[in-house]
A and B are shown apart, each in its own frame.
Chain A
Amino acid sequence: MTEPLFPQPTGTMGRPYRRYEAHEKVNGTATYASDVRLAGTAHAYLLASKIGRGRIEAFDLTAALAVPGVVDILTHETVGGQIRQTPSLYTGGYAADSVRPLGSADVAYWGQPVALVVADSYEAAREAAQKIDVAYAVAEAASSFDSGGAEHSELEQHALRVGDFDGAFAAAPFKIDAHYSTPVQHHNAMELFATQCVWDGDRLTVYEPGQYLNNIKYGLAEQLGIDPERIRVVNAYVGGAFGAKGFLTQRTALVALAARRVGRPVKLVATREQGFFLSAYRAETRHHVQLAADQEGRLLAHRHEGWELTSRADLLAFGGNGMTVRLYACPNIESRVNVARVDRSTPGFMRGPAEVPYAFALETALDELAYAAGLDPVELRRINDTDVEPVGGLPYTSRSLMQCFDAAGAAFGWPDRTAEPGSMRDGDWRVGWGCAAAFYPAYAASSSARVRLHADGRVHVASGGHELGQGMYTMMAQVAAERLGVPMDRVSVSLGDTDLPPAIVAGGSSSTTSVAPAIMAACDAIRRRLGLDEGSQGDVVAAMVASGTGMVEEYAETRAHGEAPDTMRRLHRGQAAPSGGIHLEDRVQFALGAQFVEVRIHARTREIRVPRAVGAFAAGRIINPRTAHGQLVGGMIWGISSALMEHTDIDPRNAGYINANLADYLLPVNADIGTVQAIMVPEVDDLVSPAGVKGVGEIGTVGTAAAISNAVHHAIGKRLRDLPLRIEHILEDI
C-alpha cells in the first residue's frame, strides 16, 4: 500500500467505518433467505418451459407423482385461478412482468415456469420435475430485433427535439455518424433466487432476498387475494441484487400457494439456469448516434436514436437518450427511442439500466469525434462542459465532470499518452489508453425511519431498507451516530423487514439519499425532545440522564424534492419510486465521473486484456468512503465484464438461452482484473437531499465499456461499436 485507500474525512467526505455486519459475513453466520431453517420444510423445484412460444396441450404427471417423497405438483391445471393477476410495475402494479404465475396453458417465452414440484427433499423434487412429461403445441418464437414476428414501434414519450438538427449537422465541419449495439446480459449475483414461505393460520411469512420487500408484500397480497397486513416479508441480507431482486417475480406466489396447499413451510432455491428466466435482465440495444462539431470542437448537433427490446407482455423502454443528450452543451438535438416486442421474458433493471447502453454509444461516438476533430478526448469534453442542460435549459444542482477527468487523468498518467492509434507497444502487446465519462442521475424518494435512544447511550435505528452488500447497515448506524453524537458501537440497526417503517426500493442508487434524511429527521426530533438544538454539539446521553427518561423514540418521514403529493400514501403501499435526475421541473441532478482504462492486445492472437482502470467520481456527500469505494470498484469491474465477456447466447430458432450457466456465461475471474482505482472527488450539493448525497451504486459501471472500446481503438486503430468486444472482432486488424 503506497497511499491510503480512502480520503481523509473532511467536509462532505465521511469516515470509513468498517462494515456493521462484516463479522457475520466473514464468519458465515449472516443469515440469507435460503439459510433460514423452518421445521418441516418441503422443498420445491421449478420446471421451466423449454419452448419459446406455444401452448401446453397436456401434462403427464404419472412418473413424477410416483417419485417417493413428492407431495404436490402445481401446474396451471392444478392451480386454476388461485393466483390473481397483479399489474406489472410498469403499469402501476408490483410485478416484474405481466405473466400471471401458472396462469394458463400459454407459454410466452423460453424458461417460463410451467410447474412447481413440492417434495420432502430437494433431490426428490428435482427428479420428479425431470420426469414431468409436457406435451406442447409449439409456435414460432421471435427472439430479437430482426426476427419475423417482432413488433416494432416508436415510444413517443422519449422523443426530443431542440433547434434544427438536420441543418446544423449538414453544415458542420466535423461529423460522426455511426451505429452501436449492446448485448443481452443476465444477472448472476452469487446468491440464487430463493424463496421460503410459511403460514401460521392466515398469516404468511416470506423469506426472500429483495431490494424492495414492501413491493413483495403488497403485490403478493393482491395475487393471493388477502389482506397485506397478514403478510410479513423478512430478509436481513441480500447476496447481490443489482436490479434482479427488485420486484415481485412469479416464484413468490407459487411458493406461498404451495405452502398453503401442503400445510408446511416450502423452500425454493431456483437453479443458476432458472435465474436467467425468473427475473429481469438487460436486453440488447441498438443505437444510431450522429454528432457534429465546429472547428473548435464545440458540439453543434447531437442526434441519438435508440432501439430497445421487450417482451410481448410488457411494453417498456429505458430511454437513456433523455440523459445522454443533456450531458453536454449542444444547440441542436434530436432523439427518439423505438422498441421491439418479442417472445422473451420481460427485461428490466440491471445496474445502470438506461445509462450503461446509451453511455456506451455516446461516449464512444465522442471519442470518434475527438479523433475526427484532432482533439484530445478529455479536452473535447471540457470544451462542451456545461452547468445547464441543453434541452430544457435547467441547471445542474452541481456538476464536477471535469474535476473527475482531471483527477482520474492525473492518477492514470494520461498526459504520457501518444494520440496516434497503434503508437504504444510493449513487446508483443499493443497498448491502448481510453477514457469516457460516467453519469448517473441523483434520485431520491420518500422514506421513513424510527430512532430510539436509551439512557445508557444505546441507539437503535430502524427502517425497512435493504442490505444488498452496498453498506446499508453501516450507513444507517453512521448517520444516527453522527447526528446524535454517540459512538458507532453504541448503535444497532434493524432493516429488511416489512414490519419496520417503510423505506424506498434499494435501487436507482437512491437508498442512502432517501433513508439518511429520515434517520436525520428522527434524530433531530429526539434532540428537540431533549431540549437540544438540532445542530448543537449537546450531549444527548447527558440530556437523557438529566431528563430522567429511560428511553426516547422518534419516527420521521421525509419526502424528496419534486415528489407528488400522494408520495407518502404510495410509500406505505410499497410503491415509492425514486424521482430526480431529469424528471424535475426546476433542475437536473446527476452524479458524474470519468473513467480511464489501459488495454493490451496481443499482436498475434488478439486477446484483449485490461491491466488497469482508474475512475474518479463526484457524487455529493460520501457518508462512508469504505463502502462507497467497494461499490465504485465493483461497478468498474462489472463494466469490464460487461464490455468484454457477458453475453447471453440466444438460439433464434426458438428464442432459447443456450449458455445459461456460469461455465458458459462468462464473468471475469481474479486473473482478468488488474489494478482498479476509484477516486472520490469531493463535492458539495445541498440541493439533492438534506443529506447531500447523490449515490454511488451504479455510476461505476456506466463509463467503463466506452473507455475500453476507445482504448482498443487507440491500441490498434480499429473502432469497435458492438459489445462484447471479442477476439474475432479484431483478428484481421493488427
Chain B
Amino acid sequence: MQPFQYIRPASLAEMVMAEREARSRDAAARTAYIAGGTTLVDLMKLNVEQPDRVVDLNAIAPAFSAITLDGSTLRLGAFAKMAAVADHPAVIGGFPVIAESLSLAASAQLRNMASLGGNVLQRTRCAYYGDPAWTACNKRAPGSGCAARDGVNRQHAVLGVSDHCIASYPGDFAQALMALDATVILVGAEGTRSVPFASLHREPGDTPDAETTLRPGEVITEFVVDGGPWARRSRYLKIRDRQSYEFAVASVAVALDLVGDTVRDVRIALGGVATVPWRAYDAETMLRGRSLDEAAAADAAELAFASAVSHTHNAFKIPLGRSAIVRALLETAAMEVRRD
C-alpha cells in the first residue's frame, strides 16, 4: 500500500466540489471512493490500486441508505449495506431474486460492511489482475496484454470476452438488477442522471480498463426497481465450488411472469460466466409466449451460450451455464407466487 490523501466530505455538494478542485489542480490524479472498503482496501494492500486520493463517502452514506417501497417500486439507497437489503421483508417478499443474490454473496461479515453501490462496482477476481507481478494485464496496465488468455483461466468468462480481456465479473447482486431491469441514479459534477443499470458496465472490447460508463467523479446514489409479477416470481441460482463465501462458477437470475405455464415475460441474467453483468436477451425472446417446460428451457439455455468463447480451462462453464439456466427456469416456474 502506498501513501494517499484522505478526504471525508460532509455532503454530496462538498464531495463534488472537492473533486472538481482536485481535478483542476492535477487532471491525472487518481481518485478512489470508499464506502465499505471491502474491495478497495484489499487491492490497495496488493498495490493493484494506487489512488492518490481516497474520498471516504461514509459521512454522506446515511442520506443514501434507505430501503423504501414506493407503491410497487423499490428504491435502494446505494449506501445501504448488503445485509440490510438481504434481510428486508419488502425485498424478500416482492423481489426475492435481490434478497437471494445478496444473501448468497460473500460472508456475513462482508455483507455487514459492503454497500450496494460498491458491490455492483466490485472488481474482477482475475488472479493476473490482482497481482502486479504479472505485467500483462490490459485492465490494470492498458496495452500490456492479457496473461489470463494462455494462463490458468478456469474462473474466467466465456461471454462478452475480447482478445484483450477475459476477466469475469464477480458479483451477484448485479445479476438481480439486470433481471429486474433496474435503473441506477448517479450524481456528479454535471448533476443527477438516471440510466438503465444494464448500461452501467462496459464489455472489455479493446479498452478493458474502462469498466463502467460512470463519468469522472460520479457516484451511484440509488437503485430503482419496478415491482410486478416477474419480480415476485424471481430467484437467484448460484453454482459454486463451496457452499458459502465463494464466487459463482455460474449463476442465473431469473424473473418470470407466467400465465398458466405460458411465459408472458421473462428476464434471464447470468453471472460467473461473463465479463459484465449479462442479459440473455435472445433466450428471453425465444421463451416469450412459449410454455415453459424442459425442452423450452433447454432451447433457451442453448441460445444463451450461442456466442460463448472458451479458453484452456473454462470450457465447462458453457454446459454448466446451460444446465444452470434450465434448473433456474424450472425452479422459478415452480415457485408459489401470489398473483394480483
Residues of A within 8 A of B (CB): 50, 123, 126-127, 130, 602, 604-607, 609, 644-645, 649-651, 653, 656, 658-659, 663-664, 666, 668-672, 726-728, 731-732
Contacts and interface: CB of A to CB of B under 8 A. Distances in A.
A728 B327 contact: no
Contact of A605 (B2, B134, B147, B239): B239
B320 A649 contact: no
A528 B336 CA distance: 79
B241 A664 contact: no
23 contacts: A127-B3, A602-B327, A605-B323, A605-B324, A606-B323, A607-B239, A607-B240, A645-B241, A649-B152, A650-B152, A651-B147, A651-B152, A658-B127, A658-B131, A658-B151, A658-B152, A666-B241, A669-B244, A671-B243, A727-B249, A728-B320, A731-B316, A731-B319
A127 B2 contact: yes
A283 B128 CA distance: 23
Contacts of B45: 126
A666 B3 contact: no
B297 to A, nearest CB: 10
Nearest to A124: B3
A669 B242 contact: yes
A241 to B, nearest CB: 24
Contacts of A727: 239, 241, 249, 316, 320
Contacts of B316: 727-728, 731
A659 B241 CA distance: 14
A664 B327 contact: no
A669 B104 CA distance: 13
A663 B125 CA distance: 9
**Interface SS majority for chain B:** loop
Contacts of A651: 147, 151-152
A668 B327 contact: no
Please indicate which of the listed interface residues B1, B242, B319 has the most CB atoms of chain A within 10 Å of its own CB: B242
Given A127-B2, A651-B147, 17 more contacts: A50-B133, A123-B1, A602-B327, A605-B237, A607-B239, A645-B241, A645-B242, A650-B152, A653-B151, A658-B128, A664-B155, A666-B241, A666-B246, A671-B242, A671-B243, A727-B320, A731-B319
Interface of B: 1-3, 45, 47, 125, 127-128, 131, 133-134, 147, 150-152, 154-155, 237, 239-246, 249-250, 316, 319-320, 323-324, 326-327
A666 B240 CA distance: 11
A319 B29 CA distance: 58
B245 A669 contact: yes
Contact of B327 (A604, A609, A658, A670): A604
A663 B249 CA distance: 14
Contacts of B131: 50, 658
B120 to A, nearest CB: 19
A415 B31 CA distance: 65
Q: Shortest 7 CB-CB distances between A and B: which pairs? A: A50-B133, A728-B316, A671-B243, A671-B244, A658-B127, A604-B327, A649-B152
A126 B3 CA distance: 11
A599 to B, nearest CB: 13
B1 A126 contact: yes
A607 B324 CA distance: 11
A595 to B, nearest CB: 21
B306 to A, nearest CB: 19
Nearest to A734: B323
Contacts of A672: 242-244
B3 A606 contact: no
A668 B134 CA distance: 28
A130 B44 CA distance: 11
**Interface SS majority for chain A:** loop
Contacts of A659: 127, 152
Contact of A130 (B2, B152, B250): B2
A249 to B, nearest CB: 21
Contacts of B323: 604-606, 731
Contacts of A606: 320, 323
Nearest to A428: B327
A426 to B, nearest CB: 16
Contacts of A653: 150-151
Please indicate which of the listed interface residues A605, A656, A728, A732 has the most CB atoms of chain B within 10 Å of its own CB: A605
A659 B1 CA distance: 20
A672 B241 CA distance: 10
Contacts of A658: 127-128, 131, 151-152
A137 to B, nearest CB: 16
A671 B242 CA distance: 8
A668 B242 contact: yes
A659 B126 CA distance: 10
Contacts of A609: 243
Contacts of B3: 127
A644 B134 CA distance: 28
A123 B249 CA distance: 35
A663 B123 CA distance: 14
A604 B326 contact: yes
A397 B125 CA distance: 52
A620 B259 CA distance: 67
A658 B134 CA distance: 10
A123 B324 CA distance: 44
A419 B134 CA distance: 50
B237 to A, nearest CB: 8
Nearest to B127: A658
A613 to B, nearest CB: 15
A130 B244 contact: no
A264 B340 CA distance: 74
Contacts of B326: 604
B271 to A, nearest CB: 14
A425 to B, nearest CB: 16
A609 B245 CA distance: 15
Contacts of B241: 644-645, 666, 726-727
Contacts of B249: 727
B1 A127 contact: yes
A670 B244 contact: yes
A322 to B, nearest CB: 34
A63 to B, nearest CB: 10
Contacts of A650: 152
B213 to A, nearest CB: 28
A656 B1 contact: no
A548 B128 CA distance: 73
A38 B142 CA distance: 46
A146 B319 CA distance: 29
A732 B319 contact: yes
A650 B327 CA distance: 33
A731 B316 CA distance: 8
A669 B127 contact: no
Contacts of B324: 604-605
A664 B241 CA distance: 10
Contacts of B2: 127, 130
A602 B127 CA distance: 29
Contacts of A731: 316, 319-320, 323
A732 to B, nearest CB: 7
A663 B327 CA distance: 27
A606 B249 CA distance: 12
Contacts of B245: 669, 671
Contact of B133 (A644, A656, A663): A656
A602 B239 CA distance: 10
A475 B242 CA distance: 35
Contacts of B150: 653
Nearest to B240: A607
A127 B249 CA distance: 34
A644 B1 CA distance: 34
A351 B1 CA distance: 35
A670 B245 CA distance: 10
B43 to A, nearest CB: 12
Contacts of B128: 658
B8 to A, nearest CB: 20
Contacts of B125: 663-664
Nearest to A658: B127
A663 B155 CA distance: 12
